Amino acid sequence: MPSFNFILLSIIGCGLVTWLSRIIPFVLLKKFNLPKTVLEYLSFVPIVIMSALWFSNLFVQHLGKLPTVNWENALASLPTLISVIVTKSLLVVVVVGMISLACLKFFM
């Protein structure tokens, strides 16, 4: 069984690595200017992340079979997609999605 010190040092080390990997890019980008094409490319990252999260929750995987649609999440996506078109605000989209799913879970 691992000792308490080993576990504590592992937690502190993992936290430090996680913190540094999030802080170092901000520190470096303050000193350097990125080309416009790189900035344009990076502007698509939030859209890609949200799309990946949405698609991964829209389908349910079954081993050895095709995935099926998670209808609860699909129904909650409808008002969320409307809020995307109307507001184009990430905060509004997340709040509408959470409220939509909560209402579906409450009423179903």
SS3 state at 60: strand
SS3 state at 69: strand
69 strand-pairing partners: 59
Q: Which residues contact 90 (CB under 8 A, 6 or more apart)?
A: 46, 50
The predicted structure's pLDDT at residue 98 = 93
Would you place residue 92 in the very low, low, confident or very high pLDDT band (cuts 50, 70, 90)?
A: very high
The predicted structure's pLDDT at residue 1 = 60
Q: How far is CA 28 from the centre of its chain?
A: 24
pLDDT in tens, 33-88: 888 998 898 888 888 888 888 888 899 988 999 999 999 999 999 999 999 899 98
Burial 5-18 (b: 16+ CB within 10 A, else e): eeeeeeeeeeeeee
The predicted structure's pLDDT at residue 14 = 96
73 strand-pairing partners: none
Q: Which of 79, 60, 62 is nearest to 70 (CA)?
A: 60
